[in-house]
Amino acid sequence: MLSFHNSRTIAIGEAMIEMAVVGENTYKRSFAGDTFNTAWHMSQVPGADIPVGFLTRVGTDAVSDSFIADVQADGLDSSVIGRDMQRTMGLYMIELDGVERSFHYWRDQSAARRLAEDRTWLDQSLAGCGLIHLSGITLAILSPQARETLFLAISKARAAGARVSLDPNIRPRLWSSPDETRQVMSKFYALADIALPSFDDEHSLWGDSTPAETVERLQAAGVGEIIVKDGANPATVAAGSMVTQLATPPVARIRDTTGAGDAFNAGYLVARLKGYDPVQAIAPAQTLSAEVIGHFGARIPKEHVPAIPTFTTT
């Protein structure tokens, strides 16, 4: 079973200003972004005590200051956040149709697009960590040259013992073409120890007809641990020669499905870092995912982040 030489986690990506629906014509400003949501939830799980940093770039304006203040107040490591005097944070607005969501983005001048342009800074930021988490969105917002710089930095950290988790989280509008998406994702799958894909993305991009086909393709790419998320359908878990499916418990109250996969990732990765095997780690993942969709926005209100009883038994 995959092991970790320490639990220090660095998530890499973009945090954005989130405008989330909380009532008719009413929005709440917060901060969100797929890997940031995962990092934040990992840091907030009661009893987990996982040291988490979020590697990104933001501006030097008041809203960027507010983001960093929130990160620090919530106990995340802000030392791996760079500042950009020429740019600021991107913004997105959630539009709900019932409980399903769509997004409107303003991110062209996002400072996070420059997060991988300084190789020395990346190497220093990733040195000594036990887990690096990134996503397809992280890769999509970078220039080809910056992707290569990030690839080399992650390769160096992985050679020194870091594990790498990758959520493909495909957003076609961020890529120039499906061919580019497949090429870049294939390159970074070569670094992934853990893959956390969503089946609908894999079906759309690669033509997989079942989660089992997704597992087979990623195993052929060399990924050792694969969790295929599939909404309310069972999650597929593969590690080594073991492949199984675990039912997703029904959720009684659903307000907004934004961030469900990110919270799932957080619960899964925390559980794995605490020593649970891939099958055992699914229950904490499902618990966080079910909780986040009972609230508006991509992150669970801090006071509602669920304690996961299994963490007290290790």
Q: Mind telling me the catalytic residues?
A: 262
DSSP state of 297: S
The b/e string for 18-39 (b: 16+ C-beta within 10 A; e otherwise) is bbbbeeeeeeeebbbbbbbbbb
Which of 237, 235, 225, 238 has its CA nearest to residue 273? 225
Q: For the chain, list the strands marked E by DSSP.
A: 9-12, 16-23, 26-32, 52-58, 81-83, 91-97, 100-106, 131-135, 163-167, 194-195, 225-228, 235-239, 242-246
Q: Are 247 and 225 spatial neighbours (Cβ–Cβ below 8 Å)? A: no
Q: How far is CA 169 from CA 129, 262, 268, in A?
A: 23, 9, 16
